[in-house]
Amino acid sequence: MSLQAVIRSVSHYVPTRRVTNDDLSKLMETSDEWITERTGIKERRFIESDAVTTSTLGEAAARKALEKAGWAPEELDLIVVATLSPDLYFPGVGVLLQQRLGCRTIPALDIRAQCSGLVYGLSCVDGFVKSRQAKKILLVCAEVQSPVLDLTTRGRDMAVLFGDGAGALTIEAVDEVDGAGAAKRGIIDSFLGSDGSGAEVLCMKLPGTARPGFIKASDIEAGLVHPKMDGKVVFKNAVTRLLETAHTLLKRNGVSPGDVSLVVPHQANLRINEMVRQELKLPPERVFNNIQRYGNTTAATIPICLSEAVEEGRLKQGDLVLTLAFGAGFTWGGNLVRW
C-alpha cells in the first residue's frame, strides 16, 4: 500500500519588532504610498537584535508545530529546513535544529530553493515518505533577511520588500484512508521547475566561491553583499510560472480551480497574486494573502500563510489546498494537498 505524507500541524513565529513603511521612509527615499501601491506591503517584522538568528526563529516555529502535533522532538526521524539565510556558511540550519530541539541523531538537511523552499520541501518530504525512509518529519522554513538589506535609498527597491519570519510543519507517513471512501489526506502531487538563466536576475553575490577570496571593503562599497533584483523581469516570470504550475497540477490531477478550497501563493507582491487569482477565476476569499503584514519572508511565506489560515478557520481538515511559489534561481513549483 502506498504511503501518504499527511500534514499533522503547522505553526509560525515572527519577531516582535514591527517595521512600517513610514519607518522605512525615515531611512531612505520611499513612501507608504509607493510601497502599498506597488506591492501591497504595509509592514514587516525585523529581528530585535543580532542575537536572533534563522535557527532561533526556526526553533520557535518548530516547537509550536511539535506541540500542536503532540510530538516530542525525540519522535522525529527527519528534519528538512528551507532557507536562503542560514546562520552559518556551513553547516546548515537542519543540524542546528537537530541539536537545539534535542532530537536523536536523525538525518537533517537544508534545501536552497529560495522563495520556492516550502514547495520543494514538501515534495522532498513526500519522497522520503513514499520511499519509506521517514515516518515523522519536521519541515522548517525560516529566514533572517533584514541584516543583509541595504536600508538606504540605493537599496530601496529590495529593502522595502523583505521581512524575517519562520513557519514549520509536522508531516507523518500514514497508509490510512480517512473515513469511509473519503479522499486520501496528504500531499497528492507536486510540480517543480527551475531555470538557471535567471540566476543573476535575482541574487546576492557574496559570500560565494564565484568570487575568490574574502569579502573586501570594495565589495561592500559596491553593494555586492546585498540582494539585487531586476524587479520587472522577476514579476513577469513569476506570473507565468505560477500559472503554469497551477494549470499543470490541476490538469494532471483532474481538478478544476473551483474544486480548490484555498490557494496559498508565495507572498512576493500582492499584484502578482491578484493576477494569478483573476486568471484562475477565483473569488478573493479562495486565495490567502498576508504580505500586507509580513512582506516577503522568502521560504517562510507559505507556511506562515498556512498557519494563519488554520488559525482563522479558513483551512480545515479535508480541504484541498494548492500552494504556488516562484523565486530566485529561478525556481518555482507547487503542491496539491488534501489537508
Residues with a catalytic annotation lie at 115, 266, 296
CB of 173 to ligand COA, least distance (A): 32
CA-only gyration radius of the chain, Å: 19
CB of 50 to ligand COA, least distance (A): 24
Alpha carbon distance 84, 159 (integer Å): 16
Which grid coordinates are listed for 104?
Answer: 536523536
Nearer to ligand COA among residue 34 and residue 71 (C-beta): 34
CB of 235 to ligand COA, least distance (A): 4
Measured in degrees and rounded to the nearest 5, phi and psi for residue 62 equal -65, -45
Nearer to ligand COA among residue 298 and residue 335 (C-beta): 298
Nearer to ligand COA among residue 35 and residue 337 (C-beta): 35
What DSSP letter does each residue of 33-83 carry, written as one string?
HHHHHHH---EEEE-SSTT--HHHHHHHHHHHHHHHHT--GGG--EEEEE-
Nearer to ligand COA among residue 160 and residue 173 (C-beta): 160
Alpha carbon distance 321, 335 (integer Å): 8
Closest-CA residue to 268 (of 231, 303, 311, 243): 231
Alpha carbon distance 146, 134 (integer Å): 34
Q: What is the contact surface with ligand COA in residues (CB under 6 A)? A: 30, 34-35, 38-39, 115, 156-157, 160, 202, 231-232, 234-235, 238, 268-269, 272, 296, 327-328
CB of 234 to ligand COA, least distance (A): 4
- Give percent helix, percent strand, percent coil of the chain, each to the nearest 5: 40, 25, 35
Burial 267-298 (b: 16+ CB within 10 A, else e): bbbbebbebbbeebebeeebbbbbbebbbbbb
| C-alpha pair distances (Å), 274 with each of 3, 7, 245, 255, 296 | 35, 27, 16, 21, 16
CA 284 to chain centre: 21
Nearer to ligand COA among residue 44 and residue 156 (C-beta): 156
CB of 28 to ligand COA, least distance (A): 7
CB of 38 to ligand COA, least distance (A): 4
Which grid coordinates are listed for 262?
Answer: 484555498
Closest residue to ligand COA, based on beta-carbon distance: 231
SS3 96: helix
CB of 30 to ligand COA, least distance (A): 3
Nearer to ligand COA among residue 236 and residue 316 (C-beta): 236
Block residue for cell numbers 498576508: 290
Nearer to ligand COA among residue 8 and residue 266 (C-beta): 266
Give the chain's count of helices (H) and strands (E): 11, 13
